[in-house]
Chains A and B, each alone.
Chain A
Amino acid sequence: MSGVASEPIIRLENVSRVYDTGKVQVPALLDVDLEVADGEFLAIVGPSGSGKSTMMNILGCLDRPTSGRYILDSNPVDELDDDGLAYLRSRSIGFVFQSYNLLPRTSALENVAAPLLYQGVSRKERLRRAQAALERLGLADRVGHVPSELSGGQQQRVGIARALVTEPALLLADEPTGNLDSHSGAEVLELFKDLHSLGRTIVLITHDLDVAQAADRAVHLRDGRLQDAVPA
């Protein structure tokens, strides 16, 4: 699904997201322009309340911009309906969440296999690919464990395996180290660097400047506006 070499994976043009609370209009993102090239590792840094979550929702196709254009992997996101967004999430995006968001009471293997369910992959093939993804992340001996039996670092690696199992164009991580101790956090960041070196496009959203150091490039979000891009 990757675009032409010159085409960026992400292109935001003049994107705003305004929440309508009935009486007042609350702008969460204002006139954001952003491009992320194929194979780039970008950090979006901002304090809480800066519009990070909104940015994550827009980039992750969980939400649509109120105005502006968003092109993801050559698809015009702002023109798609709910099923279209679901299709993009299924094919083009792999999410890594701060709180892992694994399905409870479900084995690591089934968790990692779940995204393939919505691509219509056969069960046998789903389990084979999930097994391979877990093995790549060093979790071969944990496939049958449910999330409550895994450490935070292990759960996050299961989460990353789930994000990678569909070979998405974009890996979108929202504070992936936020719930981890410094050692596990460092491991996860190393993992991202490895994935980046293998050519994966990664967008990392964080409030932590140290975490942002792992990326090639960081942009700063403040009060819903993107500040000058600074090389990391």
Chain B
Amino acid sequence: MKITDLIGLAFSRLGTGKMRAALTMLGVIIGVASVVALVSVAQGATKGISDRLQSLGTNLLTVSPGFTTTGATRGGFGTATTLTVDDATALAQLDGVQAIAPELTSNKLVIAGTQNETARVVGTTPGYLSVFAYDMWVGSFLNQASVDHNLRVAVIGATTADNLSLTETSVGSTIFIGGLPFNLIGILQPKGGTTSTDDQVLIPLSTARQLFVGSNSVSAIGVSAANQDVISTVSAEITATLEQRHGITTGVDDFSIATQAQLLGTVSGVSDTLTLLLAGIASISLLVGGIGIMNIMLVSVRERTREIGIRKAIGARGRDILSQFLVEALALSLAGGLIGVGLGVVASYGIGVYAGWGFVFNPVTVVVAVLFSLIVGIVFGVWPASQAARLDPVVALRYE
């Protein structure tokens, strides 16, 4: 028999029992739709997280000081005070470096009017704005003059502004940081990140050093590479420069460099696991749908015993009957799969729009889901079909 004849037989049969065909397909429809939708949700969520990470600046490298060893106890990275303002200045001269932002961080009590909060106070340079990809909401950012002359000016993050009940009209007012008066010159746009990127107070590096730390060391240096392609080159340059400046020859560095790319890699690793997990759960419903198809096909073989007998009497071989029933099962599962893909895409569009990461469409998922539904059709169609093929024509013809 030709495949077109088999398909014709299958569809004329399914056409005579539309309700049953629809209900049989429902299991596969739900299974495939949930696979497509859940995988899309997982990928959408990943994309959302990646987008936020990228909003922190994809070209960003963060240089942190190394660890100290107290007796036999090794401290964590950042406990040492090996990075200095001079290191930062040296890094700014490197090829491929667009801007740098040394950070000198300490927690201080910040008072504005009657409100107060203990905030992260960061002493930094004008480069901070571009290195960490912030935008101003109102006012202006720290300028070179304020750093050069140890001015007592401050720019605050959006969350800090909220906490202290500061609005755009507050720019120009005086706030107290660590008990000292500062002129509020600007408020940052919120980034909406999950970390406390909007909860901080920025003041000139020199001012922070003079008032709060009193040493030449910085807690981190943010370096912005000119573009993503030169990140590894810049990273190597930074390593070489700092090793030379710190006189390190042993290969054990007293600093570390982290890039956003590493963080993105971690996120995508987590998301792959999440996607696999969700797809696995959804596959269970596809399995149940397959069993539904097998059930209906077995009933159908029983009901159509006489038809099978007639077909054998007029010349059908066992394999003709087998392929007829198998193609019917395949038509059911494939149609269910295609409808499921449609519903899954619509659902993932809806969820994506609602959750705010937009529409994530992955053609690979669609192809895999359709293939999987075909496999379901074959696996759960073969047994009923072989039952049909093995029927004895004498018995089948007499079947009432």
Residues of A within 8 A of B (CB): 57, 60, 62-63, 82-83, 86-87, 89-91, 95, 97, 101-106, 110, 114-115, 117-120, 123, 162, 166
Contact = CB atoms under 8 A, between A and B. Distances in A.
Interface of B: 1-2, 4-5, 8, 12, 16, 306-307, 309-320, 393-394, 397
Contacts of B318: 82-83, 86
22 contacts: A62-B312, A62-B313, A87-B317, A89-B312, A89-B314, A90-B314, A91-B315, A95-B313, A95-B314, A101-B306, A101-B309, A101-B397, A103-B307, A104-B307, A114-B311, A114-B314, A115-B314, A115-B315, A118-B316, A120-B2, A123-B4, A162-B314
A118 B320 contact: yes
A107 B319 CA distance: 24
A93 B329 CA distance: 31
A209 B25 CA distance: 54
B16 A105 contact: yes
A57 to B, nearest CB: 5
B316 A86 contact: yes
Given A101-B306, A118-B320, A60 B5 contact: no
Instruction: Please report whether the interface of chain B is mostly helix, strand, loop or mixed according to DSSP.
Output: helix
Contacts of B4: 123
Given A62-B312, A105-B16, 17 more contacts: A62-B393, A83-B319, A86-B315, A86-B316, A87-B315, A89-B312, A89-B314, A95-B314, A101-B306, A102-B310, A103-B310, A117-B5, A117-B316, A118-B1, A118-B311, A118-B316, A118-B317
Contacts of A166: 315
Contact of A62 (B1, B16, B397): B397
Contacts of A119: 315
A33 B318 CA distance: 30
Contact of A118 (B12, B306, B315): B315
A80 B312 CA distance: 16
A82 B317 contact: yes
A123 B2 CA distance: 10
Contacts of A101: 306, 309-310, 313, 397
A194 to B, nearest CB: 22
